[in-house]
Amino acid sequence: MNEIQLREYLNGFESLGFPQVLGAIDGCHIEVHPTAEDAMDYYNDKGWYSTVLLALVDARCRFIYINVGSPGSCNDSSIFESSSLKCQLVQSSLFNDMSRQISSVNVPVVLLGDSAFKLDEHLLKPYPFRKNQPLNEKKYNNALSKCHRVVETAFDHLKARFRRVGKGFENHMANTKAVIKACCVLHNFLNEEKDEITERWIATQQIENQSRQLPENEPNIPGNVSPRAEEIRQAFVSYFVL
């Protein structure tokens, strides 16, 4: 990724109301049929076998980065923490060079995740819901949720275009990984070509997968939050109440 590409991604999310965001990140479980010796690793919390597609998506619902093949027993946060994407965020000077002042805080390029991820200086997540939550936290959570929706939309479109992604694969595991990657590439191509996706396609795939979905309210991952990470999140909290 070069500076021109990064600027395009940042501008995309700023147009949605959230500055300094490279992309929204989330995981999607896809049904697979592993070998008997690997079965337990791929057995997820809903009671079926899956592999995880962890994806970073831009403001136009295009896949920027994908991590395919982790067993369904893995959570999104652990996959991200051991990914090449996390390494790039930490090691690449480009993301720090593109920092900007927000609410008097020097903020690097960040990702938007949900409660399943660990908060750090490279990844923002919402505040846990609580009774009588302060208005400033609600505004921040609403802004994050609105922009994070692009990754959910990308998964919906992927499953609507390529029904096998939603229904599950019967291929050999090695082939399944290659097919999922190919579907993501084709999704981006069709997105660029402004290929139409009808609501009927999306509705059909959502009905087909409703009974197999993992719980929407994943457990909040607290972890040990660094002062720097909380400083960056507070900068955005202040930004959204101005």
Segments making up each domain of the chain, as ranges: 3-231
Stretch 88-99: mean pLDDT? 90
Written as six digits, the tokens of 25 are 């990140």
Q: In 27-119, which residue ranges form alpha helices assigned H by DSSP? A: 39-42, 76-81, 84-91, 93-97
Task: Provide the mean pLDDT of the chain.
Answer: 89
CA atoms within 13 A on the CB side of 211: 2
Asked whether the CA dihedral 118, 23, 109, 135 is positive or negative, the reply is: negative
> Which residue, 183, 157, 173, is CA-closest to 71?
173
Name the amino acid, one letter, at 143: A
Strand segments, DSSP code E, in the chain are: 21-31, 50-57, 63-71, 100-102, 105-107, 110-112, 123-124
pLDDT band at 42 (very low <50, low <70, confident <90, very high): very high
Per-residue pLDDT tens for 159-176? 999 988 888 888 788 789
The pLDDT score that the predictor gives to residue 205 is: 65
Indicate the pTM of the whole model: 0.89
Asked if residue 60 lies in contact with residue 147, where contact means CB atoms within 8 angstroms, the answer is no
